[in-house]
Amino acid sequence: MSIQRISTSFPPLTPQWKYDVFLSFRGDDTRKAFTDNLYTALEHQGIITFRDDPELQKGKAISPELFAALEESRFAIIVLSQNYASSTWCLDELVKILECMEAKGTVLIFYDVDPSDVRKQTGSFKRAFANHEERFKDDKEKVWRWRSALTEVASFSGNSKQWYESNLIRDIVEVIWRRLQPTIIQLCRKSSWDLLKIAAS
């Protein structure tokens, strides 16, 4: 479905967003399983989704391509898994998501992780931050930003790890699709109005 291709006689609408969804996840945990199935389901529904390519992560710092994709995405889906906090890449990505979208554009999934571990940085998150504090002992502000972002994002309502994956993916797609509807309706109305203006001129 493309709401831009209304008539070949007129220029297409300029979309406000390049992507409907930005997927944030720890590749080693979920790339070949849950996240891949979720991405496929979103694309099947016609929801334009960005997920990073492993090639982008070869550098030590988060790539400009990912920052650009985040800024051009309407929503973000964050898959918080056991080793999410062990990746400085994921943590930088999370900080950027909150800067761009805050709570209004974020769907949170606790995948095989307790929400309280995320909020309080206990369990595997505690171990990850012990390493970060040692590694970045000369940049405590960076570590504080990561901790703050996790605490903030864990306060959003999220999907429980107790769901069957197929049901969870179905519900996530439905939530995103419903959230996109006002945007789709608005664009369709704008297009109709443009066509009326052209017809009246």
Question: Does residue 45 belong to any structural domain of this protein?
Answer: yes
Of these residues, 43, 55, 72, 93, which one is catalytic? 93
Question: Does residue 7 belong to any structural domain of this protein?
Answer: no
Question: Does residue 47 belong to any structural domain of this protein?
Answer: yes
Whole-number Å distance between alpha carbons of 134 and 35: 31
Looking at the whole model, is its pTM more than 0.75? yes
> Which pair of tokens denotes residue 71?
């800024």
Q: Which helix (H) or strand (E) holds 179?
A: helix 165-200
Over 70: is that where the pLDDT of 54 sits?
A: no
- Tell me which residue has tokens 């496929």: 40
Whole-number Å distance between alpha carbons of 41 and 157: 22
Instruction: Kindly provide the residue ranges of all beta strands, DSSP E only, lying in 29-161, ordered along the sequence.
Output: 49-50, 73-80, 106-110, 158-159
Q: Which tens digit of pLDDT belongs to each residue from 91-106?
A: 999 999 998 876 557 8
> Number of structural domains, the chain?
1
Q: Order of strands, edge to edge, in the sheet holding 73-80?
A: 49-50, 19-25, 73-80, 106-110, 158-159
Residue 193 is part of a domain; what is its CATH number? 3.40.50.10140
Question: Does residue 173 belong to any structural domain of this protein?
Answer: yes
Question: Does residue 185 belong to any structural domain of this protein?
Answer: yes
Residues 124, 82 contacting (CB under 8 angstroms): yes
Question: For residue 183, what are the domain limits?
Answer: 19-200
Question: Does residue 80 belong to any structural domain of this protein?
Answer: yes
Would residue 93 show up in a list of annotated catalytic residues for this protein? yes
Q: Which tens digit of pLDDT belongs to each residue from 166-194?
A: 988 999 999 899 888 865 444 444 443 33
